[in-house]
Amino acid sequence: MNLVSCSVVSNHELNPGNFLITLKVPRGFARPQPGQFVHLRVGDGFEPLLRRPYSLEGFMEKGSLRAVRIYYSVVGRGSAVLARQQKGTKLDLIGPLGIGFAPRPRRLPILVAGGRGVAPLLFLSRRLRERKRPYVFLYGARSKAELYGVREVRGGRVHLATDDGSIGYKGSVMDLLAREWSESGQTPLTAEIFTCGPHGLLHAISDFARDRGIRCEASLEGPMACAVGACRGCPVPLLPGVDSGRYPAMCLEGPVMDATVVDWARLP
């Protein structure tokens, strides 16, 4: 982990409200793991005052050139400022931070993405491909227009779901997962789930996994101040009985956590 300055290589709106930004980082920035995030200063001045945490959608390295990619939605002040940053602008970020996805050897990784939650899973899928590991990629969005990066997914079986049925399975990616699981013949000993998306979806998926004893890692989100474990501002509520009421710090023990111990009902 390091504080490094970075410069905007490109920053485009890919579909309404969703942007992809590429940031050039110096060699001082360590190679990140899929699921790790950076704490980005989106602009100078006090609006916004705090950095914003973003999962990495990808990491590129060519010779001495290093760059990270972030896929983000404009939901408020910080992301609005970020969306205005032009090519060449200098920003700075702290990272890589947190704990990423940890696929186990000899298990089929089932990646389940909801909406813009696809970002860290695209990063993971590329890593799996490099490792020549097969995987399943389930991706749900409201409509075909909001699907991003599908064509990028290679070396794995992709199944899509859209609320409006404009492509793939018509319905939620949760239902798609249920169908695929039952048809796949996989067992908790042969496969595991990696997911990211709206907390409502993650909640449903973790219930599904718990009921069947499937190992399931989810990437969480929530407001953060320091992002390095100092301020304790990012508590993750755990289910009663788990770890005696302690609140793990999302920035330090997450953002990727064992979904089945998270008390989703108490997570905003």
Partner 1 sequence: MKPSLEVRIGGLTLRNPVLVASGIIGYGREYERLTDLSRIGGIVTKTVTLRPRAGNPPPRVCETPSGMLNSIGIENPGLSGYLEQKVPILRDLPCAAIVSVEGEDVGEFCELVRGVDGSGAAHAIEVNISCPNVGPHGMRYSTDAGMAREVMSAIRPLTKLPLIAKLTPNVTRIAEIAQACEDCGADAVSLVNTFVGMAVDARTRKPILGTVLGGLSGPAIKPLALAKLWETVQAVDIPVIGMGGIARPMDAVEFLLTGATAVEVGTALFANPSLPEECVDAIEESVRLAAGTTVDDLIGALEVPEGRGVIRAGRAARREPGRHAS
Ligand X SMILES: Cc1cc2nc3c(=O)[nH]c(=O)nc-3n(C[C@H](O)[C@H](O)[C@H](O)COP(=O)(O)OP(=O)(O)OC[C@H]3O[C@@H](n4cnc5c(N)ncnc54)[C@H](O)[C@@H]3O)c2cc1C
One residue of 20, 94, 224, 236 binding ligand FES per CB under 6 A = 224
Interaction between residue 37 and ligand X (CB under 6 A): yes
All residues at 6 or more sequence positions from 36 whose CB lies less than 8 Å from its CB, including other chains: 55, 56, 95, 96, 97, 98, 99, 100
Angle between helical axes of 199-212 and 173-184 (0-180°, round to 10): 20
Residue type, 114: G
- The reply to whether 225 sits near ligand FMN by the rule CB under 6 A is yes
Q: Which is nearer to ligand X, 17 or 188 (CB)?
A: 17
164 binds its own copies (CB under 8 A): no
Considering only residues 53-112, where is the footprint of ligand X by CB under 6 A?
53-55, 70-73, 75-79
Least separation in angstroms between residue 6's CB and ligand X is: 16
Our finding on whether 255 is near ligand X (CB under 6 A) is: yes
Among 84, 229, 254, 265, binds partner 1 (CB under 8 A): 229
Closest distance to ligand X from the beta carbon of 98 (Å): 6
Residue 7 C-beta: closest distance to its own copies, Å? 18
User: Is position 188 an interface residue for partner 1 (rule: CB under 8 A)?
Assistant: no
Q: Which is nearer to ligand FES, 65 or 231 (CB)?
A: 231
Q: Which residues pair with 161 in a beta bridge?
A: 140, 169
| Cβ(259)–Cβ(205) below 8 Å | yes
* 43-51, 113-121, 190-198, 236-244 -> range binding its own copies (CB under 8 A): 43-51
Q: Which is nearer to ligand FES, 65 or 230 (CB)?
A: 230
How many CB atoms sit inside 10 A of residue 15's CB?
16
Q: Binding pattern to ligand FMN, positions 232-261, x when CB under 6 A?
A: -x----------------------------
List binders of ligand X among 119-148 (CB under 6 A). Answer: 119
Contact set with ligand FES (CB under 6 A): 224-227, 229-234, 249-251
Contact set with its own copies (CB under 8 A): 45-47, 77
